[in-house]
Structure 1
Amino acid sequence: MIKIYVDMDKCQHYGQCVFEAPEVFQLNADDKLEYQAEAPDDMLADLESAADVCPMQAIFLTKE
Structure 2
Amino acid sequence: MKVNVDFDRCEGHGLCVTQAADAFSLNDDGELDYHFDGDDVPADMEDDVRAAIGVCPVAALSESP
Judge same fold: TM > 0.5, yes or no.
yes
From the two aligned structures, give the one with the greater strand fraction.
1
Instruction: Give the share of equivalent positions with the same residue, in percent.
Output: 39
Structure 1 segments of 4+ aligned residues over 4 angstroms from their partners: none
Structure 2, unpaired ranges of 5+? none
CA RMSD of aligned residues (A): 1.3
Structure 1, unpaired ranges of 5+? none
Which residue in 2 is equivalent to 1:25?
A: 24
TM-score, normalised on structure 2?
0.84
TM-score, normalised on structure 1?
0.85
Higher mean displacement: 47-56 or 35-44: 35-44
For residue 26 of structure 1, report the CA deviation from its aligned partner: 0.4
